[in-house]
Amino acid sequence: MKQIEKCKNSKSRFPLRFKIWIYFILFTIAVFVLLWIFQIFFLERFYESMKKHDASQCESKISQAFDTMSTSDFSDYIKEIAVDNDMCIEVLDRYGRSIYSCEVLGDCLIHGKSNSTNIYRVNIDKSENKNIRYRVKNPAGYDMLLYGCTLGSADAPDGYLLLNSALVPVGSTVTIIKRQLMIITVALIIIAFFLSLYLSEKIAAPIDRITKAAENLAKGDYNTKFDGRGYLESQKLAETLTYAEHEISKVDKMQRDLVANVSHDLRTPLTMLKAYAEMIRDLSGDNPVKRNEHLEIIINETDRLALLVNDILDLSKLESGKQQLSPSEFEISSKMTEIIDRFKGISERMGYHIHFTPDNPRNVVCDEIKIQQVIYNLINNAINYTGDDKQVFVRQINKPEGVLIEVEDTGDGIEEDKIKLIFDKYYRSENHKREVVGTGLGLSIVKAVLKLHNYDYGVRSRLGKGSTFWFMISDVANDKKEE
Ligand code: ADP
């Protein structure tokens, strides 16, 4: 919530809506500024340079054709170029006599004007590059381009080429374009204004909706619906948040359950402790037999409390990610016998039977204490949930890739949909038997330890027949003791 407040208070943030809108408008303005600059201010220069470029190109094309084409082809070619480029073309022989001519302009400077063409020819000869590039006015006062060059070799030319094209004044065109642009600019800026408003609304609306919903989620409403309709990203965000909501609510529920379970589990022994302590004080203090009996109960209940607190601590350490493994090498068969021996007391007292089927002794390398706890928790559960025959089967199966440990009971089994949940933190079935102390954290510890080791694990279960929990210790020592 503090985070939300922080965001609300930060001044420098413009809303997304505004930003999209302003960028869109700025972009439109930039486009128009460029359009105006090019269309109005540079149009004349652009037009002229284009014309000059065209003239140069035609000049070099014709020069090339003069050297390579037959007379009739050349004549056709010149016509084609003249028509395509709107220019007059005059080809002179080395003495200045017109040999090819094509006129498409009304006021041509060269067609039929042998005096002028001769002057141009002389100028070409005189010029350093053997060409001329003039911008001259025709008698009507219009600007014209007049280009000329030698044909064949530059020093002893076979002929001369003269090109004349008109530079049509662009003033009136500019005025027309200006008017058009004015209308288009105003129209498009208005359209851009509304379009950007619409677009920014369309982009920001799903985010706003999701933010509002997320605020509700932050307040603890786990029924919040995230509506991400609009576009793919918002849809994905909504889906992710829905998933997060689901997970958070699950954890939240489990945490509540844990608090409820733990407080219940704490209250029962505490009540007992108080009751028996009072009994010793008031009644059995002087009676050694009774007193010892009561003290025994107090000790057992204290053990139970210690176990619960240890489980909670263990799990929180494992889950904090700070827990490091301390691997060591040990022999698994004897270790398992040792763990099973710890259940001797309960086996004898309550008639449970733990059958251990060892395989050949084999050395493994893993965190001994933690793996010991895994095996202990699995056997503990098997005793808790086994059937009335009170049988539990523990197996060590050596495999090439490691040592498979199995713990089987003959209990009710676990329903298919519950199997996914039992390894979850705080999950605990309602029909909980309490032969051996359990905290609802046993399997979570098993899962955390095995995950830390990167070992495979799982459970096979058949309703009414029992369950087999298994895991594979895949770090076996190199000096296998196997025969
Ligand atoms: P606890 O046994 O203290 O409830 P665990 O984390 O060890 O906590 O187990 C979680 C749940 O998994 C149990 O409440 C039970 O429903 C189920 N479970 C565990 N082991 C077995 C088993 N051997 N047979 C059937 N159900 C089991």
Evaluate if residue 421 carries a pLDDT over 80. yes
pLDDT at residue 438 in the model: 59
Q: Is the CB of 429 under 6 A from ligand 1?
A: yes
- Main-chain phi, psi angles of 469, to 5 degrees: -95, 140
Query: Which atom belonging to ligand 1 lies closest to the Cα atom of 445?
Result: 6
Task: State the pLDDT confidence band at 439, using cuts at 50, 70 and 90.
Answer: low
Q: Is the CB of 407 under 6 A from ligand 1?
A: no
Nearest CA to ligand 1 atom 8: 440
pLDDT at residue 328 in the model: 93
Task: State the pLDDT confidence band at 483, using cuts at 50, 70 and 90.
Answer: very low
- How far is Cα 363 from Cα 392, in angstroms, rounded to an integer? 25
Evaluate if residue 138 carries a pLDDT over 60. yes
Nearest to 418 by CA among 470, 463, 471: 463
On whether the CB atoms of residues 359 and 403 are closer than 8 A, the answer is yes
- How far is Cα 424 from Cα 444, in angstroms, rounded to an integer? 6
On whether the CB atoms of residues 228 and 240 are closer than 8 A, the answer is no
Q: Is the CB of 347 under 6 A from ligand 1?
A: no
- Six-digit token string for 336: 């398992």
Over range 186-207, report the average pLDDT.
89
Model confidence over 292-314: pLDDT tens digits?
Answer: 988 988 998 898 788 778 878 88
E strand or H helix that includes residue 430: none
Query: Which atom belonging to ligand 1 lies closest to the Cα atom of 412?
Result: 25
Q: Is the CB of 442 under 6 A from ligand 1?
A: yes
Model confidence over 349-408: pLDDT tens digits?
Answer: 888 899 999 999 999 999 998 999 899 999 989 998 998 999 999 999 999 999 999 999
On whether the CB atoms of residues 356 and 337 are closer than 8 A, the answer is yes
421 C-alpha to center of ligand 1: Å?
10
Q: Is the CB of 381 under 6 A from ligand 1?
A: yes
Task: State the pLDDT confidence band at 480, using cuts at 50, 70 and 90.
Answer: very low
Q: Is the CB of 311 under 6 A from ligand 1?
A: no
Over range 198-208, report the average pLDDT.
89
What percent of the chain shows pLDDT beyond 90?
35
- How far is Cα 450 from Cα 91, in angstroms, rounded to an integer? 95
Q: Is the CB of 438 under 6 A from ligand 1?
A: yes
Over range 14-23, report the average pLDDT.
86
Evaluate if residue 431 carries a pLDDT over 60. no
Evaluate if residue 346 carries a pLDDT over 70. yes
What is the 8-class DSSP label of residue 231?
Answer: S
Query: Which atom belonging to ligand 1 lies closest to the Cα atom of 469?
Result: 23
Tell me if the pTM is above 0.75: no
Q: Is the CB of 466 under 6 A from ligand 1?
A: no
pLDDT at residue 472 in the model: 96
Q: Is the CB of 421 under 6 A from ligand 1?
A: no
